């Protein structure tokens, strides 16, 4: 197993190329993700680890230097010569300033109603009785949510439901009654936005997934901002730092590395985001809050009147076992490739799990191609804001449906966990 790396590279056709070394000295640790075909001796040689593979094995607690696994994370000392391409070893920082829940008005639970074009419907009355927000099991097509005015739907958006076929009986899946509406002034202009949260799935360990729509208080009939949220509920809206409005705590379940435990697994991440004019913007001065699911906690829940069960994301993420991050977990792995691209189009597509997601048309050096959301082939995992280094919520689609066409971006590829790869599209200002 500890044969010369050059010999291994001749024998293994899938040996990955190494970037040129930018030599520097640093007292911190770097993180390397083991690739297919790696050996510990090869890694120690390639990154000039003082003492070679025995030092590397001891540093990472490896009893058997011959046994490493694809996707495993290794500490690489930067007191020797290492590459700048390797990310720093992540740190678990304590939460410095915990966010606080924003004051919202929760509207009454949905009630069965008759809506034209819907086989079954349940509605919540808003705007003094002039309008209703309703779930709609359509006579034809996918289930959705509609804004009703004067007895007729004036706007609609999808609300996909995860099907129960072939899954465990303990799973709870979305129905026409599994949504709620809250009112809050999100942009501090004195007008209340309506946040519509539709639960599409929940499992037996407390993980849930929701589709969210934000209806503008200034233009109530404008297309809603759409996104998804994990474990939506108490604390999904948090107090704004200065505007007097409410920021959104964007929550997602991600496979994230927990450096203090040397393990990876499902982690609940919370990113504070600001709502302005039908779009979201990551808050650059706020960290990402994180807490791992297994062995650390099981998410809390609260049952609303009528039986709808929601999560407690703020309570979960400010717990003493939670921590904060500065760098996105998806971008903490080794960056394999990065190239500038232009987004020349964004085509909405109905994803059976997320709702409407943007597939992108990209251009680079005169060549155009399609990039699909979460596709195994020519796909990407998320959109991000390059200036802040923060990811947008999964399924994010601003009210301006032309976005992000015409934007400059960076397409970056990272070494993912367990040998997988991740592509992120970073939007530039």
Task: For 99-153, write each residue's pLDDT tens digit.
Answer: 999 999 999 999 999 999 888 899 999 988 899 999 988 776 677 899 999 989 9
Greatest Cα pair distance in the chain: 77
Strands 73-77 and 29-33: antiparallel
Question: Over 80: is that where the pLDDT of 259 sits?
Answer: no
Which ranges in 221-364 belong to alpha helices (H)?
A: 313-317
Residue that wins the pLDDT comparison between 385 and 15: 385
Torsion over CA: 381, 323, 57, 54 (sign): positive
Buried (b) or exposed (e) across 412-424, using 16+ Cβ within 10 A? Answer: bbbbbbeeeebbb
Answer for the pair 245, 187: CB distance below 8 angstroms, yes or no.
Answer: yes
Mean pLDDT of 42-61: 89
Q: What is 5-77's CATH number? A: 3.10.350.10
Assess whether pLDDT exceeds 90 at residue 85: no
Taking the C-alpha atoms of 343, 344, 350 and 353 in order, what is their torsion angle to the nearest 10 degrees? -10
Position 24 scores a pLDDT of 32
Residues 6+ apart with CB under 8 A from 397: 225, 226, 227, 348, 356, 357, 358
Phi/psi at 343 (5° precision):
-90, 110
230-249 tens-digit pLDDT: 999 999 999 997 767 899 99
Residues in the chain: 429
Burial of 309: CB neighbours in 10 Å, binned 0-12, 13-18, 19+: middle
Highest mean pLDDT among 15-19, 217-221, 299-303, 394-398: 299-303
Q: How would residue 418 be classed by pLDDT, with cut points 50, 70 and 90?
A: low
Residue 414's beta-bridge partner residues?
A: 335, 422
Task: Say which DSSP state 90 is in.
Answer: P
The residues of the chain that CATH labels 3.10.350.10 are 5-77
Cα separations in angstroms, 290 against 50, 258, 273, 337, 385: 34, 9, 15, 27, 19
Say if residues 237 and 101 touch (Cβ distance below 8 Å): yes
**CA angle, 199 as apex, 193 and 202 as ends, to 5°?**
145
What is the average per-residue pLDDT within 363-386? Answer: 88
Whole-prediction pTM: 0.82
pLDDT of residue 4 exceeding 70: no
- In sequence order, the 6+-apart residues with CB closer than 8 A to the CB of 322 are 95, 289, 290, 291, 316
pLDDT given at position 166: 45
3-state secondary structure of 408: strand
Contacts of 354 (CB under 8 A, 6+ apart): 160, 211, 228, 373, 394, 395
Predicted confidence (pLDDT) at residue 339 exceeds the cutoff of 90:
yes
316 token code pair: 């979960």
Residue 27 in contact with residue 20, Cβ under 8 Å? no
Three-class SS state of 1: coil
Split at pLDDT 50, 70, 90, the class of 162 is: low
Handedness of CA 3, 5, 11, 15 (dihedral sign): positive
Average pLDDT over residues 315-325: 90
């Amino acid at each position: 197993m500890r044969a010369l790396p050059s010999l291994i590279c001749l024998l293994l056709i899938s040996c990955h190329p190494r970037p040129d070394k930018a030599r520097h000295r640093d007292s911190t640790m770097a993180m390397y993700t083991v690739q297919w075909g790696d050996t510990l001796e090869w890694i120690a040689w390639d990154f000039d680890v003082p003492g070679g593979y025995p030092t590397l094995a001891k540093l990472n607690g490896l009893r058997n230097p011959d046994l490493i696994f694809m996707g495993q994370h290794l500490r690489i000392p930067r007191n020797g010569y290492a590459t700048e391409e390797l990310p720093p070893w992540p740190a678990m920082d304590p939460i410095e300033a915990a966010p606080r829940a924003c004051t919202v008005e929760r509207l009454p639970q949905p009630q069965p109603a008759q809506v034209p074009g819907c086989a079954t419907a349940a509605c919540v009355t808003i705007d003094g009785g002039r309008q209703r927000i309703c779930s709609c099991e359509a006579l034809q097509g996918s289930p959705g949510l509609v804004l009703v005015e004067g007895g007729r739907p004036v706007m609609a958006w999808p609300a996909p439901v995860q099907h129960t076929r072939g899954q465990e009986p303990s799973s709870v899946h979305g129905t026409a009654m599994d949504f709620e509406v809250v009112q809050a002034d999100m942009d501090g202009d004195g007008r209340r936005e309506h946040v519509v949260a539709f639960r599409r799935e929940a499992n037996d360990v407390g993980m849930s997934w929701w589709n969210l729509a934000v209806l503008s208080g200034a233009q109530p009939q404008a297309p809603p901002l759409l996104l998804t949220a994990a474990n939506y509920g108490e604390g999904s809206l948090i107090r704004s730092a200065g505007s007097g409005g409410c920021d959104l705590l964007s929550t997602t379940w991600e496979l994230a590395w927990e450096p203090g435990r040397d393990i990876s697994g499902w982690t609940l991440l919370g990113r504070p985001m600001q709502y302005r004019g039908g779009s979201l913007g990551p808050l650059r001065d706020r960290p990402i809050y994180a807490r791992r699911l297994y062995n650390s906690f099981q998410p809390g829940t609260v049952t609303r009147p009528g039986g709808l069960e929601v999560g407690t994301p703020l309570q979960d993420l400010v717990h003493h076992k939670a921590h904060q991050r500065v760098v996105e977990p998806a971008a903490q792995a080794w960056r394999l490739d990065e190239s500038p691209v232009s987004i020349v189009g964004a085509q909405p597509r109905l994803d059976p799990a997320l709702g409407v997601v943007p597939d992108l048309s990209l251009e680079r050096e005169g060549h155009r191609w399609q990039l699909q959301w979460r596709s195994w082939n020519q796909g990407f995992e998320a959109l991000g804001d390059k200036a802040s280094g923060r990811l947008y919520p999964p399924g994010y689609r601003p009210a301006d449906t032309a976005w992000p066409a015409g934007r400059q971006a960076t397409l970056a590829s990272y070494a993912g966990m367990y040998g997988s790869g991740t592509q992120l599209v970073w939007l530039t200002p």
